[in-house]
Amino acid sequence: MQYTRLGNCGLIVSRLGLGMMSYGNTSRRAWHLAEEGAEPIVRRAVEAGVTLFDTADMYDRGASEEVTGRLLAKLFDDRDDYVLATKVYYPMSEKPGDRGLSRKHILASVDASLRRLGTDHIDLYQIHRWDDETPIEETMEALDAVVRAGKVRYLGASSMYAWQFAKAQYTATLAGGTRFVAMQNHYNLIYREEEREMIPLCLDQGVGVLPYSPLARGLLAGGRARGGERTTTRSGTDPLADALYTEADFDIIDTLRTVASELGLPPAQTALAWLLGKEGVSAPIVGATRLTHLQDAVAALDVTLSPEQVERLEADYRPHPVAGSQQPALRHQRPVFRRTS
């Protein structure tokens, strides 16, 4: 395993992070794994030297955090030997205030996450999305408070516009508060819009980049074929992938398969090697529901693509509408409350 500092901060993380979204309640999604199914994969990640584990409170409404906490406590002797990351923002119930980035929700959510994770601190606490309905000053003050209280060590953000991220950082600086040290954004060989503004901003400000969907929700690993054929359980029940990626993206996949074949490697391994070689990337967050998924990811660390191979992989890229940065505003998800008298 290779290790790196997260941006310019002092936190050291493995060059791969294991995404824990797939572990939790199997009744919610057919491709999820229960704790007993997840344990061999997490154990192998620990044996391979992975130290960064990423979850969120909304993954299975807390079930992922519970599984994550139990497995890491079982597989590590010392709490300081791994970096535990989770997130806050999405609804955790149908209650009107149980969502967003208000001071109230952040302070309640961090305590709830700590209980589910079975720990006294979170190493990297990330805002899952931007909250249009809460002043950023309130959000940054609340996040600074949980750091000062010792419940959180570092702050991170995920998927937003670059101007929003810059505003949040400036707001924290102006108040003498805690800034974000990491950006977890949507970035892979098929979706590279983050290279326009967000990644240059992160490089300039010394912020680490933790790309999610490094294999484009399985597309770069062969989860779909031209014409819409699905080859995995997840791809058959993942409408978001249809919205994010198009038929034209298969030109890149064809080239990926050719380059991978020349190298004698699986396409997934080659796509991850491309991402690991991009400037600013600290650690892609890799999901794994099979041991082979994890093995491909770890093996990608030892692959160095030539400039000519990188140029071929990037040649067929087509710009995409900005996606993965803005989800529907929470006000559109909230129930309608009517007076009863």
In this predicted model, what pLDDT tens digit does every residue of 153-169 receive, in sequence order?
A: 999 999 999 999 999 99
Q: Is residue 143 situated within a structural domain?
A: yes
Q: For residue 149, what pLDDT is reported?
A: 98
Q: Is residue 334 situated within a structural domain?
A: no
- CATH number, domain with residue 74: 3.20.20.100
Cβ count within 10 A of residue 240: 11
Q: Is residue 203 situated within a structural domain?
A: yes
Q: Is residue 263 situated within a structural domain?
A: yes
> Quick check: 132 pLDDT over 90?
yes
Number of domains in the chain: 1
Q: Is residue 16 situated within a structural domain?
A: yes
> Measured between alpha carbons, how far is 86 from 128 in angstroms, rounded to an integer?
9
- pLDDT-based confidence at 228, cuts 50/70/90? low
**What share of the chain has pLDDT > 90, as a percent?**
80
For 198, the domain range is 3-326
Crossing angle of helices 63-75 and 35-48, rounded to 10°: 50
Q: Is residue 336 situated within a structural domain?
A: no
> Quick check: 317 pLDDT over 70?
yes
Q: Is residue 189 situated within a structural domain?
A: yes
Question: Which residues does the annotation mark as catalytic?
Answer: 59
**The pair of three-digit structure tokens given for residue 244, joined into one six-digit string:** 């994010």
Q: For residue 224, what pLDDT is reported?
A: 64
Q: For residue 239, what pLDDT is reported?
A: 58
**What DSSP designation does 212 have?**
B
Q: Is residue 58 situated within a structural domain?
A: yes
Q: Is 339 left (phi over 0), alpha (psi -120 to 50) or beta?
A: beta
Instruction: Give per-residue pLDDT as tens, 67-121.
Output: 999 999 999 999 999 999 999 999 999 998 999 999 999 999 999 999 999 999 9
| pLDDT average, residue stretch 198-211 | 97
